[in-house]
Amino acid sequence: MSSTSPTIDRASGSPFDDVTASEASLRRFLHGLPGVDQVGAEARAAALGTRSIKTTAKAHALDLAIRMVDLTTLEGQDTPGKVRALAAKAMRPDPADPTCPQVAAVCVYGDMVATVKEVLGSSGVHVAAVATAFPSGRAAMDVKLADTRDAVAAGADEIDMVIDRGAFLSGRYLQVFDEIVAVRQACARADGSSAHLKVIFETGELQTYDNVRRASWLAMMAGADFIKTSTGKVQPAATLPVTLVMVEAVRDFREQAGQMVGVKPAGGIRTAKDAIKYLVMVNEVAGPDWLTPEWFRFGASTLLNDLLMQRTKMTTGRYSGPDYFTLD
């Protein structure tokens, strides 16, 4: 697979003015990206998933994976009590072991942000809110922006927006680009800071790896802080090959633009074994710079418990059982 990318002219006010000036120029840039070798991508992802991890490295990987979790609940039946309990677990995943690290963030709907923020306080665990008519992304732009602003005003540290897949698949790239730019602007706070923006592609609906690569570059050029695979509501969600394509994209983007962008696979990652496969892939494809919660996250609800079970097994020599930890 080629890792080269079209040259980006950074001389103007925006690094990408030359490729975003019109629908035609944006299309020309995105369709000029190297095509993804499907067989090669899937074979490489499979090979990376076979790496052997030794005991010391595994212990480090388990703690790192815990620190990278965006502990998530996005159900219509979510209650204040449920999200408070989830926030408490995010800060102390294993109440019996104070050495267990806390997770990166708690991800909820916007109306639950204030409740989660109250529980988390100054713990350092972030609050992430889904926005822009999650999970479909089908709403008027003023509704999407109001959704974002409300979540930021309630205290969200991070916004997980969804792109309009219908627009993207129809080739209306400039529309998608402009929406990401507008949502990023809506992430601004009164103090001049800004909530981090994660852009969700719903890769299960994008149909090809070429589209995943194009969506990755489109979002990064529009100012995404993170690119994210899925909402968790559509199957297939995160897969190793899809995430490989996205990790290659952020690596190439830094080479071209000098800027790092994070990656968040979400949906379907349930076991510590699977999480470690992703960490190996990130390390070998993008490098260790991405092996921090600032640049790589897991969007998950059930993954944390398996990570905790495996961690307990390594520290005590025995499995604690799935009912030892709270169900999320």
233 is an active site residue: no
The residue count for the chain? 328
Plot region of 317 (φ>0 → left; ψ -120 to 50 → alpha; else → beta): left
Ramachandran quadrant class, 10 (left: phi over 0; alpha: psi -120 to 50; beta: rest): alpha
Establish how many alpha carbons lie within 13 A of residue 260's alpha carbon, considering only the half-sphere containing its beta carbon.
Answer: 12
Catalytic residue among 94, 147, 157, 160: 160
Residue 197: its H or E element: strand 196-200
- Catalytic, out of 264, 274, 277, 306: 264
160 is a catalytic site residue? yes
Q: What tokens does 47 get?
A: 């090979």
Half-sphere exposure of 77 (CA within 13 A, CB side): 1
Residue 198 structure tokens:
């994660």
From 157, 228, 252, 277, active-site residue: 228
Measure the CA angle with vertex 235, ends 294 and 207; round to 5°: 90
**Burial group, residue 223, by CB count within 10 angstroms (0-12, 13-18, 19+):** buried
Residue type, 185: Q
Annotated active-site residue 58? The verdict is no
End-to-end CA distance of the chain: 39
Strand partners, 300: 71
Helix (H, G, I), strand (E, B) or coil at 196: strand
Q: How many CA atoms lie within 13 A of 137 on its CB side?
A: 22
Q: Which residues are catalytic?
A: 160, 228, 264
